[in-house]
Amino acid sequence: MRMLHRFPRVHLLCNEVNRHYTFSNNWAIDEARGQYLCLLNNDTVVLPEAFDRMLAFLRENPDAGAVGCRLLNEDGSKQWSIKPLPDLGAALFGGRSILIRLFPNNPFSRRRILHLDRDMTEHGQL
């Protein structure tokens, strides 16, 4: 909060109690007035140039409705962040299922976990 005086157009929203992720994001979306909206968790560490690259992508692709970036764990490994829509298959074979823990390379889970076989730095992806 110490830096907010440097950004007079920033509007800080504070919950009196922890209202959790969905409530807080929906509240922020309702209050947002800028051209772009960025939702971050409170423990997010943004790497240098991440916003620049995402903004460049949005400006170069005006039909894009959203942009995301690679999420990394503290050790630099990729987080499993790309998921299909929830259904029975996702429950059985998704990234958090017991089956992927027991059989991490099974073909059913590999089809469900969309990022495993994709290079996210190619083809305009960040």
Residue 47 has a CB neighbour count (10 Å cut-off) of: 10
pTM over 0.75? The answer is no
For 37-92, write each residue's pLDDT tens digit. 888 887 888 899 999 999 999 999 999 988 888 888 889 887 766 666 678 877 78
Tokens of 76: 């630099």
Listed by start position, the domains of the chain span: 4-112
Looking at residue 30, the DSSP 8-state letter turns out to be: H
CA distance 49 to 51: 6
Mean pLDDT of the region 100-118 = 71
Per cent of the chain over pLDDT 90 is: 21
3-state SS of the chain: helix, strand, coil percent to 5?
A: 35, 0, 65
